[in-house]
Each structure stands twice: as C-alpha cells, then as structure tokens.
Amino acid sequence: MSTQPAIRLSGLTKTFGSVTAVAGVDLDIAPGEFFSMLGPSGSGKTTVLRMIAGFETPTSGTVELFGKDVTSDAPFDRDVNTVFQDYALFPHMSVLENVAYGLRVRGVGKAGRESAAKDALSLVRLDGYGDRKPSQLSGGQRQRVALARALVVEPKVLLLDEPLGALDLKLREQMQVELKEIQRRLGITFIFVTHDQEEALTLSDRIAVFNEGNIVQLGTAEEVYRHPKTTFVANFVGTSAVFSADEAKAVLGHSGACAIRPEHLEIVRGKTPSDSVTLKGKVAETIFLGASTRIIVDLDAGKRVAVLEQNDLAQTEATIGESVTVAVHKKFLAPLT
C-alpha cells in the first residue's frame, strides 16, 4: 500500500440548516481500492460522496486527494469523476458525444476524443451504440454510458452514487461483475455508495458502514459481516439475532451482548456438537428459499431466532410446531459493543 492515501477525509462535517448530515468523518482510502460506503438513506453516505466530488462544501473538515487539499476546489478542478444515480446523460448529445464530453472540454481534438470515446464504449461493451441518443437506450445501457463517460478522462478516483439502484436484479448482478472487472483492470480507486448490503459485500475490498452521519464500522467485507460491532451493523449488514447483555446471559450463558447469523445456527438431531450452545424451542415457520430454507424458531427462553439450513440430501425437514434443539458454535457468537 502506498504511503499516500487516494482520499483522506479529516473531521468532515456537513450541516444543512439545523440538520447534521455528516458528523466528523475521518477516513483514509487507499489507491486502487474498491471501497463501499454502505448505509440506509439519510445516513450521510451520499453527502460524503458529494463533498469528495466537490458538489457540496463541507461545513468543516478537509478532503485530501493524493495528499493535496481540495476542500475548496471546484468539481472541475478535481481529478475525480462521478457516475450519477440518475446517470445524468446529456439528452441533446449522442452517446459518443456524451462519452467524449470530458475530453472535449479539455480541448482534445475531434478525432482524438472520438477514438478515445469509442475505446471507452468498447470497455463497457457498447460498441456501435455511439450514434444513438441516450433516450434510445435501456437503463442498463445508459448506466454503461455513464460509466464510460466518467472513465474516459482517466480519473484517479471514480465515485459511484448508487449506480445500480435503478436496474433489475439480473442486470444488477451482471453489472456488479463487470464493475469489479473494470476496476481490477484499470486499477483506479472506486468509491461506491450503496444501501444494498449484499452489493457492498460482493464488490468491496473494504466497507464503511454509515449511520446517522458517521461511520459506525470500517473493515473488509468479511470483518464487517463476521464481526459486526454494533446492533445496527449486525442488523443492517445481513440479518442477525441480537441478544442484549442480559438476554445473552439468560439464554446463551454468555457474558456480553452478541449477535448470531442465521446460517451459524443449526437444528441438531441426535448428538450435540462440541463447543456449542444449545437452545430448545418450537418451529414457528419454515420458509423455502430454493437453495436453503429459513426456519423460524421460538426459543423456550422467550426469543425468536432464524435458522438458515442448506437444502441438501441429508436434510431432514422441520415441521411447524415441532420441538427442536438449535445449536450454535461458540466462535459464532459475535460480541457487540
């Protein structure tokens, strides 16, 4: 890792009137990193992105880009580009003109910018679409054009503001793979804003989980998922059964609040696995999910948990109302602060 971070945010704060959107964010993002800002709407993640891009001026704090303070620079003076949530393609220009725009305003000649734009279109697999108008494209194609338009000027950092939000599931999954490939190939820093935890987990090297204007947890996808630090993260990133300190003591015989992922719980028939906590309960509901089944169990100790079981051949079905024993290995009790 280079000593110079691609982006450094120090004490970044933004208030709109009496509302604090971003409350003192400190963050370093390394060059070449695929970094996600994950959080519910209103958590401040988009405002942070807009301050990095230069569309919002921070109330206090600084934004550094490769060691250079750009806090008060205009967007057009910053070496970052944005893929907008609504794509913001220029409707009066053709696809090729859209993609070539960044080069055009930098004074690149017509032949040079058009050939670069064609290369960029080919990178996002839209060869031959150059003459169309944005209105003649599908949502997924517009998304690619927006990506090509931002990449053609070779930014050091690419900001993506919920770029896949408007696409349907299949297309979204396909674009996720493509984004990851493009990022790896170009080696530039991607900062990806999303409220979709699955998307963040799939794509990111690191994730910052935002809530109420601040980062509540920062780490790799695995860290954030495996070891959620707070109840908020445990519930926002994936789902968890959350036990308060008192509940943990009474139900699990464990000291301190903790969270358990559904896939770490299993229904045991026969021998209890070693180093596990076992809990007795009744099956309240079973939900078939295809590859797996979610079994909702009401524990006798008065808590409801979800168990996720893989649907393989060895599986024995749970029936509603059945008394079962649920087990979780002690290492999967994720402590919460």
Partner 1 sequence: MKLTLPSRIVLGIVAAVTLAFIYVPIVIVVLNSFSTSKNLTWPPPGFTTEWWVKAFTNEAALAAVSTSVTVAFAATAIALLLGTALSFALHRFTFFGKSTVNLLVVLPIALPGIVTGIALNNAFRTMLGLQLGWLTIIVAHATFCVVTVFNNVFARLRRVGTSLEEASSDLGAGIWTTFRLVTFPQIRSALFAGGLLSFALSFDEIIVTTFTAGSGVQTLPIFILENMFRPNQAPIVAVVAVVMILIAIVPIYLAQRLTSSDSSR
Q: Output 97 or 266, the one with its CB closest to partner 1.
A: 97
- Tokens found for residue 154: 């070779």
- 3 state DSSP class of 139: helix
Q: Answer yes or no whether residue 168 interacts with partner 1 by CB under 8 A.
A: no
Which of 2, 18, 41, 135 binds partner 1 (CB under 8 A)? It is: 135
Q: How many residues bind partner 1 (CB under 8 A)?
A: 25
Contact assessment for residue 8 and residue 70, using Cβ atoms and an 8 Å cutoff: no
Residue 240 C-beta: closest distance to partner 1, Å: 37
Q: Answer yes or no whether residue 105 interacts with partner 1 by CB under 8 A.
A: yes
Q: Answer yes or no whether residue 158 interacts with partner 1 by CB under 8 A.
A: no
The Cα 31–Cα 8 span in angstroms is: 11
- According to CB under 8 A, which residues from 244 to 283 bind partner 1? none
Residue 78 C-beta: closest distance to partner 1, Å: 8
Residue 296 C-beta: closest distance to partner 1, Å: 43
Q: Answer yes or no whether residue 63 interacts with partner 1 by CB under 8 A.
A: no
Q: Answer yes or no whether residue 218 interacts with partner 1 by CB under 8 A.
A: no
Q: Among the candidate windows 5-13, 20-28, 39-47, 76-84, which touches partner 1 by CB under 8 A?
A: 76-84
Alpha helix positions (H), the chain: 45-53, 95-104, 110-123, 139-151, 169-186, 197-203, 221-226, 231-236, 245-247
* 3-state DSSP helix/strand/coil % of the chain, to nearest 5: 30, 30, 35
Other CB atoms within a 10 A radius of the CB of residue 310 amount to: 11
Q: Name, in order, each residue with C-beta under 8 angstroms of 231's C-beta and a sequence gap of 6 or more.
A: 242, 257, 259, 336
Q: Answer yes or no whether residue 185 interacts with partner 1 by CB under 8 A.
A: no
Which of 34, 101, 192, 236 binds partner 1 (CB under 8 A)? It is: 101
Q: Name, in order, each residue with C-beta under 8 angstroms of 72's C-beta and a sequence gap of 6 or more.
A: 57
Which of 24, 30, 62, 84 binds partner 1 (CB under 8 A)? It is: 84
Q: Answer yes or no whether residue 197 interacts with partner 1 by CB under 8 A.
A: no
Q: Output 123 or 333, the one with its CB closest to partner 1.
A: 123
The Cα 74–Cα 305 span in angstroms is: 51
Q: Answer yes or no whether residue 102 interacts with partner 1 by CB under 8 A.
A: yes
Q: Answer yes or no whether residue 53 interacts with partner 1 by CB under 8 A.
A: yes
Which of 25, 150, 164, 279 binds partner 1 (CB under 8 A)? It is: 150
Residue 75 C-beta: closest distance to partner 1, Å: 4
- 3 state DSSP class of 211: strand
Q: Which residues pair with 324 in a beta bridge?
A: 281
Q: Output 162 or 266, the one with its CB closest to partner 1.
A: 162
Residue 88 C-beta: closest distance to partner 1, Å: 4
CA distances (Å), 319 to each of 43, 280, 287, 309, 310, in order?
A: 40, 15, 11, 13, 16
Q: Answer yes or no whether residue 86 interacts with partner 1 by CB under 8 A.
A: yes
The Cα 63–Cα 54 span in angstroms is: 9
Contact assessment for residue 35 and residue 190, using Cβ atoms and an 8 Å cutoff: yes
Which of 11, 16, 40, 55 binds partner 1 (CB under 8 A)? It is: 55
Which of 16, 60, 69, 106 binds partner 1 (CB under 8 A)? It is: 106
- Tokens found for residue 121: 């279109």
Q: Answer yes or no whether residue 16 interacts with partner 1 by CB under 8 A.
A: no
- Tokens found for residue 244: 């308060």
Residues that bind partner 1 (CB under 8 A): 53-55, 74-76, 80-82, 84, 86, 88-92, 101-102, 104-106, 135, 149-150, 153
